[in-house]
Amino acid sequence: DVKVTQSSRYLVKRTGEKVFLECVQDMDHENMFWYRQDPGLGLRLIYFSYDVKMKEKGDIPEGYSVSREKKERFSLILESASTNQTSMYLCASSTSLMTGRYGYTFGSGTRLTVV
């Protein structure tokens, strides 16, 4: 069964800590994405990547960075966590060859709490 795996389901971190959220996909997809989900705001795109070592800013990149050293792995980094980054983080992947109706495959999400 193909999947996108996020390393942690729940995470609690302290303000100012450097936080790594890991995402791995086993579908050989070119594209990977990080979204955050907040009540009433839906999902908002943080960063995405079309290829290894390639990244592009989404709609809300401030306070975040990403790394994609291997095709299957896309990491989201909070350089200095703040309480306003408490949220649900969703990773997704898609293939460039089968766009549109096949959509994305999502991970189960990481619920991050910054205290």
Q: Which stretches of the chain bind another protein, using CB under 8 A?
A: 31, 33, 35, 40-45, 48, 50, 58, 88, 90, 92, 94, 96, 99-109, 111
Nearer CB in complex with another protein: 108/113: 108
Nearer CB in complex with another protein: 5/65: 5
Contact 81, 114 (CB under 8 A): yes
Radius of gyration of the chain (CA): 13
Q: How far is the CB of 48 from another protein (least distance, A)?
A: 6
Cα dihedral: 30, 96, 57, 76 (round 10) = -30
List of long-range contacts for 63-68, beta carbons under 8 Å, 24+ apart = 64/34, 66/34, 68/32
Nearer CB in complex with another protein: 15/96: 96
Contact 109, 9 (CB under 8 A): yes
Q: How far is the CB of 16 from another protein (least distance, A)?
A: 27
Q: How far is the CB of 70 from another protein (least distance, A)?
A: 19
